[in-house]
A and B are shown apart, each in its own frame.
Chain A
Amino acid sequence: AGEKKTSEKAPGKKKPSEKKPAEQKAGQKEGGEKKKRVRKHHASRNPVLARGIGRYSRSAMYARKALYKRKYTAPETKIEKKKKEKPRATITKPVGGDKNGGSRVVKIRKMPRYYPTEDVPRKLLSHGKKPFSQHKRRLRASITPGTVLILLTGRHRGKRVVFLKQLDTGLLLVTGPLAINRVPLRRAHQKFVIATSTKVDISGVKIPKHLTDAYFKKKRLRKPKHQEGEIFDTEKEKYELTEQRKTDQKAVDSQVLAQIKKVPQLRGYLRSTFCLSNGVYPHKLVF
């Protein structure tokens, strides 16, 4: 089979060389076509002695297949090109102060100024330990946008509140609305909340996109100017209401209130607080 194929190739190759003067264009075309076409694969050059056992060894096969002259490299990808671009090693900065005027060349990445006596031991490989930002967020099936929730902890405990959406950290964005029970746009934790089966239709309500965790996060000032006595006073302990919060509250509440007013007695329900009394057992209540 090998011989037949080589004989086929040979006349094929010879054709353009023979017909050079007459059909140069055709020959060139054929040659060009052959280069583009995938070369026919040769049959196995390693005859089989028994199943799984060939006649020639790896090194003999290397020579027989002429792999020494067939070395391919993958095309360089964009990422590799970017990697080749070396980052700047040094930067020239102007000299100020004593020797004002000229410029000096400064290394960007400097050698370490301290080598520890003992090297830090290499950490063992771990698997599946993700940072909090990559954790999977779950939401109970009973909590859907528009559900009335009962807050159980915090300064608003016992209050009934409307659920808007779940934020990226998994906390629930919730609003009173403020006009009804003085609960502003606030975050609540899923575990410290009872989901009732009462739902408000919130499908048409548009919640502004800038209400994220960063918006609600508590702010801490950190600029100690070497005066340790004053640090404990200047940190914000009192919460200050900003104008942005007021406008956001209005924007969301106006839409939610409109939906609440459609259901009779819902407004009064949201104004009331949840409490247990004699003979009321939470495990027996249907919420």
Chain B
Amino acid sequence: VFKRFVEIGRVAFISFGPHAGKLVAIVDVIDQNRALVDGPCSGVRRQAMPFKCMQLTDFVLKFPHSARQKCVRLAWEKENINEKWAATRWAKKIEAREKKAKMTDFDRYKVMKAKKMRNRIIKHEMKKLQKMASKKGKKPEKPEKPAKSAKPAKAKKSEKVQKAPKAQK
């Protein structure tokens, strides 16, 4: 039922507080509510932190309990946690949320146009398929093709959406 456990070396994401948005590694457990935590590669000093503000990630590092910062850093860099984190969907969702909040009026217009065009393409393909299906009588055709046509459309839209906010920055 539970897959992520609090253990020595577990990398956690801080959700609120002064270090919100950073990654840390659990170095030791102090008591039921707090852990000794250290984030040498993310700018968090070694300190006690309540479990409540931590959200566990899938990454675990290997170092003994109460290891010093240098060891934690070595383990962190060996596992390349920063890159692995940036590749996760979790981090990407956070980034997308930030970009959306920073969108200017012009960006919103560009996104609207891109979405509109994408939806047009999708609808067009759907209509084509529906037409074909109705033309060939009442033979139930399984929708294999929409998956193919949706993918190029999705690729187009994601490019545009990324281009729009990125170009402004």
* Chain A contact residues, CB within 8 Å of chain B: 148, 150, 160, 196-198, 265-266, 268-269, 272, 274, 284-287
Contacts and interface: CB of A to CB of B under 8 A. Distances in A.
B102 A286 contact: yes
Contacts of A268: 109, 113
A287 B110 contact: no
11 contacts: A197-B105, A198-B105, A265-B110, A266-B106, A269-B106, A269-B109, A272-B109, A284-B101, A285-B105, A287-B104, A287-B105
Contacts of B101: 284, 286
Nearest to B100: A286
Contacts of B105: 148, 150, 160, 196-198, 274, 285, 287
Provide the main secondary structure of the chain A interface: mixed
A197 B102 CA distance: 11
B104 A198 contact: yes
A128 B104 CA distance: 42
A171 to B, nearest CB: 23
B96 to A, nearest CB: 15
A196 B109 contact: no
A287 B105 CA distance: 5
B103 A196 contact: no
B113 A197 contact: no
A141 to B, nearest CB: 16
A93 B120 CA distance: 86
Q: Which of B102, B103, B109, B110 has the most CB of A within 10 A?
A: B109
Contact of B104 (A160, A196, A272, A274): A196
Q: Which of A150, A284, A287 has the most CB of B within 10 A?
A: A287
A95 to B, nearest CB: 74
B113 A265 contact: yes
A286 B103 contact: yes
Nearest to B103: A286
Contacts of B102: 286
Contacts of A148: 105-106
B167 to A, nearest CB: 9
B98 to A, nearest CB: 11
Contacts of B106: 148, 196-198, 266, 269
Given A197-B106, A198-B104, A272-B109, 19 more contacts: A148-B105, A150-B105, A196-B105, A196-B106, A197-B104, A197-B105, A198-B105, A198-B106, A265-B110, A265-B113, A268-B109, A268-B113, A269-B109, A269-B110, A274-B105, A284-B101, A285-B105, A286-B103, A287-B104
A12 to B, nearest CB: 85
Contacts of A284: 101
